[in-house]
A = this chain, B = another copy of it.
């Protein structure tokens, strides 16, 4: 990639990240990202053919954070319920940083053609590692995709309604207790 192209790409992602964080996915237009990055719309669209692909690039480090959160939860010296709640709380908290991310990633679960397919795999794999780590503490037959959808749906609601963590916690507790073996 040519040096000017790389410079522009970096600036676009940087500007877009700030805009998305401040206003959420829907409220940011591609035109304003282009203006903010001081490039033309054509340049923006050569680097990122759709608005969603730009969002995907903005969420680049998200995968690392998800994996780190699972590691943190599994390495805790506590009950399975505490480990589960730690992971769920961390995940829900991650989404307050990127308004609209929960809904989009959750909606893309099971759609390999989505720009977020990579993010989805990371997320489902994280839940699979959690299942493996918690071993027999969970109800039998529970699947990673089910946890992903349950928590993703709840996170999307919390994100959309801008619920404070203390309002989300009781709902996470319901999901956690439901996931633990009866």
User: Which chain A residues have a beta carbon within 8 Å of chain B's beta carbons?
Assistant: 103, 106-107, 109-111, 139, 141-143, 146, 149-150, 152-154, 156-158, 160-161, 170-171, 173-179, 182
Residue of B nearest to A175 (CB): B178
Residue of B nearest to A111 (CB): B161
Q: How near does chain B come to A17, taking the closest CB pair, in angstroms? A: 24
Whether B178 lies near A106 (C-beta < 8 A) is: no
Among A141, A146, A153, A160, the most chain B Cβ lie within 10 Å of the Cβ of A153
Chain B residues near A150 (CB-CB < 8 A): 154, 171, 174-175
**A153-B154, A174-B179 provided; 12 other pairs, C-beta below 8 A?**
A107-B160, A139-B174, A139-B177, A142-B174, A146-B170, A150-B171, A150-B174, A153-B156, A174-B175, A175-B175, A177-B178, A177-B182
